[in-house]
Structure 1
């Protein structure tokens, strides 16, 4: 017996015609803005996804030009029109960039524009926009974390190399200093030789100071943490800091009240603050202002992704000096690296700050813009002791 094909049933109800099916499809899409433009770029249709992403209702947007979604700088550069021209000439245009919502906020969008032809006549464009801000921000955070990790690994490698050299050099200087002191005791009758030996001794002691700074950077310096009030320590240093600066530099303080007591090595913390002030002073040969600020902060150590944010106290020194070029800022904490002229700095001041902060369980960072000054931050953990 021959099989008889059953007749195909026609859709009934709300799906009875293609136009209704298409409208239901567009109305169900909320993650994409899908709409039509006329040949001049004016919006002809609008779907719920467009309203969710961009904030406009159909009454707000239909009949207006799609360039209103672009930033003012992109409109001035002619990007909306170039997108339509590329779609018409090439058959499709796709791009990513910043777009504007109704409330003025920006989002990062992935955009596709396809021309719509009826025969040889261009009747408009189909435009699809997707909000990819979260993806772009996640990629940016990943790049920043990778850069921080690479920087931390580089500084760790430099620290290990520095630590070994500093130990060896410190031992040699110890022998030199002891020998010079013995010579001084035996040639006290010869003023000329005494002066020469004393000059050599001062140079050797200066070398010993530099090696101590290198040891601090390499975390090979033995710290002696004790409880200290950060604000009181800074105020006790105020006279010394003022004497270190010429009259054309104003020194100001913004010290947050009620800071917790820190367990830190006082001498190393004082050296770090003085180094920050001296660096700021040197960045302002024509005068300016230095602001020393303290505050509480809840933050995590950069590049230590396994550590959660914790309570810290931050001391910062801000100047109105020349600033540091962006391409050099990643290197400023390296030993012997300096932006000063030859002979005007050892390049160990910021490395001492970096090593002290790291060995104390915190971190040091820098924010600078050429022509707009520099701020150096030292974050120290609350309620912890140095290693």
Structure 2
């Protein structure tokens, strides 16, 4: 009977109640410090979060959990002073586990007073790394969704303008052709020829706009990316110029992709020419193909999927971070006036997305740019 009553007796003893409560909590590190920050108690939550057993930490200073640079700057002692002066110290910061890994901690420090004398502190720490990572993932997805919606809106506007512009150009070209048949004067013929070339240039720009707006009619066919790029090696090297080396890292036995070959070749040529322009003093462009397990930034799929990827990477000037969100917009360019229409990357974007894929860009100013075009594998 005495043994059966012992658990009930523990609940009737206030000190035992507190000990049971603290030692039953594993999601929070709850421990006491003396007024100098030396650890006096330790609960299982502290061991689970930080990796130390009670024997390893009791009697040592709690500053051991802080990042070395924070400890050297006196952050632990400053937090204790804040708690003593303001009645509580609440904050978040990076801490270090026993194995050296870092975690984001939510910390509360309360002073303990007895008869008006400060005798120590009660400290509660919670690991909020997963929550922080979830928030960052959510913000990234929201940003990607907003960017996709913006590009879709621009695409619809561009599509309408491109169609109207194309219709006007068709009339202009037809009229010039008819005039050229009737006019025999050599000077007038040259003017007509110049106007026709300008109209053809306008028609080309219109096709690029239609590609960005997903209004360009594609002729997709199953293609081996590596084989297609091998056939274009000479053209790409010639387009890059003598000062630039184009390195090909093309993997064999890749799954086929269903894309328009002419649009694919135009997209790669655009990327290589952009890289060339970013390296006026020469450099290296790497063109490679492989399979990557990745996820469309705006996809609703929860798991990344394998994609057949084409990468064009350079070691040039890079793109400023402030401009990276706009590089695929039509007519946006970081090049000097007269050195680009701003439609090259928009063609790449439109072709890739219309083919069921998505582009990824990463760039660091002064170090280079990498653009990856990801396509779903073709399944007959």
TM-score between both structures, scaled by the size of structure 2: 0.94
Match of 1:215 among 190, 210, 215: 210
Moved more, 115-124 or 162-171: 115-124
Match of 1:153 among 126, 149, 152: 149
Specify the alignment match of 2:69 in structure 1: 73
Specify the alignment match of 1:316 in structure 2: 311
Match of 2:328 among 330, 333, 336: 333
Q: Is the 8 A contact 1:361 1:384 kept in 2?
A: no
Match of 2:200 among 205, 210, 213: 205
Is 1:139 the equivalent of 2:135? yes
Aligned counterparts of 1:96 and 1:31: Cα–Cα separation in 2: 16
Cα deviations across residues 232-284 of structure 1 (Å, max 9, x unaligned)? 11111111111112222111111122101221100001111111111111111
- Spell out the pairing of 1:211-290 with structure 2 (5 A cutoff): 211-290=206-285
Residue aligned with 2:240, SS: coil
CA spacing shift, 1:27–1:322, aligned 2, 3 Å: same
Q: Is the 8 A contact 2:23 2:44 kept in 1?
A: yes
Q: Is the 8 A contact 2:240 2:276 kept in 1?
A: yes
Q: Is the 8 A contact 1:321 1:372 kept in 2?
A: yes
Specify the alignment match of 1:5 in structure 2: none
Q: Is the 8 A contact 1:29 1:48 kept in 2?
A: yes
Aligned counterparts of 1:166 and 1:378: Cα–Cα separation in 2: 25
Specify the alignment match of 1:373 in structure 2: 368
Residue aligned with 1:244, SS: helix
Moved more, 63-72 or 264-273: 63-72
Match of 1:180 among 176, 182, 185: 176
CA spacing shift, 1:17–1:294, aligned 2, 3 Å: same
Q: Is the 8 A contact 2:313 2:369 kept in 1?
A: yes
- Please, what is the CA RMSD of the aligned residues? 1.9
- Spell out the pairing of 1:90-105 with structure 2 (5 A cutoff): 90-105=86-101
Shift of 1:184: 2.8
CA spacing shift, 1:76–1:198, aligned 2, 3 Å: farther
Residue aligned with 1:56, SS: coil
**Structure 1: unaligned runs, 5 residues or longer:** 1-8
Aligned counterparts of 1:141 and 1:307: Cα–Cα separation in 2: 12
Specify the alignment match of 1:57 in structure 2: 53
Residue aligned with 1:222, SS: coil
Shift of 1:16: 6.0
Is 1:20 the equivalent of 2:20? no
Aligned counterparts of 1:302 and 1:191: Cα–Cα separation in 2: 57
Q: Is the 8 A contact 2:222 2:378 kept in 1?
A: no
**Structure 2: unaligned runs, 5 residues or longer:** none
Q: Is the 8 A contact 2:169 2:203 kept in 1?
A: yes
Q: Is the 8 A contact 1:36 1:125 kept in 2?
A: yes
Give the aligned length: 376
Aligned counterparts of 1:30 and 1:297: Cα–Cα separation in 2: 39
TM-score between both structures, scaled by the size of structure 1: 0.92
Match of 1:295 among 290, 293, 311: 290
Aligned counterparts of 2:296 and 2:11: Cα–Cα separation in 1: 58
Shift of 1:345: 0.9
Q: Is the 8 A contact 1:108 1:133 kept in 2?
A: yes
Aligned counterparts of 2:125 and 2:31: Cα–Cα separation in 1: 9
Specify the alignment match of 2:44 in structure 1: 48
CA spacing shift, 1:16–1:306, aligned 2, 3 Å: closer
Shift of 1:73: 3.3
Aligned counterparts of 1:11 and 1:366: Cα–Cα separation in 2: 63
Residue aligned with 2:204, SS: helix
CA spacing shift, 1:178–1:24, aligned 2, 3 Å: same
Aligned counterparts of 2:199 and 2:302: Cα–Cα separation in 1: 41
